[in-house]
Amino acid sequence: MSDTTWQFYLRSADAWDIMLADCAAAHATIDIEQYIFGMGEIGARFFDVLKRKNREGVKIRIIGDAVGSFDFLNSATERSLMALGVEIKFFNPIQQWRIRNFSSWFRRDHRKILVVDGNVAHTGGVGLDDRMKDWRDTNVRITGPVVAEMQEAFNQAWIAVSRHKFFKFKPVFGVSEDFSFLVNSPRFRRRYIYHDLRRTIRKAKKYIYLTTPYFVPSVKIFRSLTKAARRGVDVRILLPARSDVHIADIAAGSYFLLALRAGIKIYRYGGGRILHAKTGIIDDIWGSVGSANVDNLSLLLNLEGNIKSLDQDFIAELKRQFLDDIANARIVDKENWIRRPLLLKFFEVIIWPIHNIL
């Protein structure tokens, strides 16, 4: 019997509500690591709660990404929070002296972590930005031993940002057999999400179900998926009909024909909502949810965090969500895709050289 509990939230606004409620109930600490900390209505709601809890003596730390949370960086709101005693740091600022190290601009802290009092945590794809309110996303609220791993991952990031050493992150070893928190950073030996995903795909025997808003995989990940499909594994990839990043949609389309010829099924989510969830289920024995997309930015360049689970009930819930989503999606037909407009094919070709930073 697992000593971990969890609850999924499949709409950004619903995830925000429970995250705010947990912050409001905090007694000792609130730690937030967030790629996008917006300055709109939802940002204001979080800032109000954090100010109130700060006055009550709760210790609050925030890590924002210097690009994703650019509006928050050096804002009046940041200054007012820090004046109250809230500790705030920003990951990997873009500075003039680093202009020659252009690749470092793309190495962002894309994680979404909230840990309250060291015993309840949230993660997933949900950012704190008003435009995401009705997006189909996946956030999980979780308790149990994995929370200590998420807390330690936050602590490592806090130290790294303080020392301006942005990419030296170590694995966190937990005590739970069924849940673990995997991190990803640009160093080859520390791309734990990437290596775990690739290894699990290569071992798959029955099915691979992946949901991602952006599909620009590395050569090795794509080759592993096509090989799995050719050996009879049911490989299905769920993408948005249209994401919030149009160039990423064009790049994803350049893989479709190769994938379809290998036997991979591609679905495009409809329903008038943007799909932003990042989940995976393989063979009823492996499940994943977190911040990492199936693209080069997430798997090779960014700092990311995913919960990996071997728990059968957790995996079954993720699988039900996936099957519900593809019921609201359209499968991509190979013949129709071949007949797509020539201009679209042209754009797919010309942006191929920048796939490594998408």
pLDDT digits (tens, 9 = 90+) for 145-194: 999 999 999 999 999 887 776 666 666 655 567 999 999 887 767 899 99
pLDDT of 259: 97
Q: Nearest Cα to 60, choosing from 69, 51, 73?
A: 51
Each residue's pLDDT tens digit, 210-249: 999 999 999 999 999 999 999 999 999 999 999 999 999 9
* CA distance linking residue 343 with residue 48, whole number of Å: 48
**Which segments of the chain does DSSP mark as H helices, in order?**
12-24, 41-55, 76-84, 146-163, 192-203, 219-230, 246-262, 296, 312-326, 334-338, 342-350
**Domains, the chain:** 5-357 (3.30.870.10)
Look at residue 1 in the predicted model and tell me its pLDDT.
Answer: 45
In this prediction, residue 269 carries a pLDDT of 96
Q: What pLDDT shows up at residue 351?
A: 84
pLDDT at 103: 55
pTM score above 0.85: yes
CB 308 within 8 A of CB 180: yes
Tell me the C-alpha distance between 6 and 196, whole Å: 22
Residue spans of the chain under pLDDT 50 = 1
- For residue 271, the model assigns a pLDDT of 72
